[in-house]
Amino acid sequence: MTLPTPINLTVLGDAGVGKTALLLSFTLDLFSSTYLPTCIEGLVAKVEKNSQSFEIHLYDTPGGNYDEVCRVLYPDKKDRLFINALHPTPDVVLVCYSVTSPATLQSVKDKWVSELKKRLPGIPWLLVGTKIDRRDNVKPKPPGLLTQEEGVAAAETLGAMGYLECSSFTQDGVKAILDEVVMAPRQPREEKKKKKSSCLIQ
């Protein structure tokens, strides 16, 4: 299968899980501890892998007010569009939750993955646990911190290509996500279908 050039990547997940922060850390090596509105366009990440150069075009989405936006824009349609209609169809999707918030993983299960499968069936997607620095850096530990094992299990149950986790704050795991993204569209669909279980990608 030919790798699309560029690779179009989008992110999904609840408000505040760190999607915009992740896209910024892919490209600008920048972290902002204040909330940045989802209005950053035109970001391109460049990746070298196996002596090949890849360009990943990044498309952000807002996690908040999703239902309200859909209600206004698509009052008659049951089928809802979760990505900006002006953006190209993504080649790979990162479905994100924060390891500090079980509710955001629950939304992945209840909302984001079903929307994704409905709108873009068969698209390669990765489950991404964000904010892993908060497992170590916050004292006392926030209640309900999610483990790596829970991420792996969710990815397997939901049919993701795999599970990755990261911190945009420390950059831990960020490059590994891009490395996996450039490989994703190369996997033949048949191979993906046959794959029985997801795994933690390190």
Catalog residues that contact Mg ion under the rule CB under 5 A: 19-20, 38
**How far apart are alpha carbons 182 and 184 in whole angstroms?**
6
Residue placing its CB nearer to ligand GTP in the complex, 32 or 197: 32
Instruction: Provide the minimum distance between the beta carbon of 70 and ligand GTP in the complex, in angstroms, as a whole number.
Output: 14
Whether 161 and 198 have beta carbons less than 8 Å apart is answered as yes
For ligand GTP, the binding residues in 45-104 under the rule CB under 6 A are 62-64
In the structure encoding, which two tokens stand for residue 35, read together?
A: 């909330």
Q: Does residue 169 interact with ligand GTP by CB under 6 A?
A: yes
AA identity, residue 102: P
Instruction: Provide the minimum distance between the beta carbon of 10 and ligand GTP in the complex, in angstroms, as a whole number.
Output: 12
Q: Does residue 142 interact with ligand GTP by CB under 6 A?
A: no
Q: How many residues contact ligand GTP, by CB under 6 A?
A: 24
Q: Does residue 151 interact with ligand GTP by CB under 6 A?
A: no
Instruction: Provide the minimum distance between the beta carbon of 18 and ligand GTP in the complex, in angstroms, as a whole number.
Output: 3
CA triple 87-46-126, angle to 5 deg = 60
**How far apart are alpha carbons 8 and 175 in whole angstroms?**
17
Q: Does residue 135 interact with ligand GTP by CB under 6 A?
A: no
Q: Residues 19, 105, 151, 160: which binds ligand GTP (CB under 6 A)? A: 19
**How far apart are alpha carbons 59 and 20 in whole angstroms?**
9
Instruction: Provide the minimum distance between the beta carbon of 67 and Mg ion in the complex, in angstroms, as a whole number.
Output: 17
CA triple 13-158-132, angle to 5 deg = 50
**How far apart are alpha carbons 79 and 156 in whole angstroms?**
26
Residue placing its CB nearer to ligand GTP in the complex, 54 or 128: 128
**Angle of helix 19-27 versus helix 174-183 axis, rounded to 10:** 80
Q: What is the binding site for ligand GTP (CB under 6 A)?
A: 13, 15-21, 32-36, 38, 62-64, 130-131, 133-134, 167-169
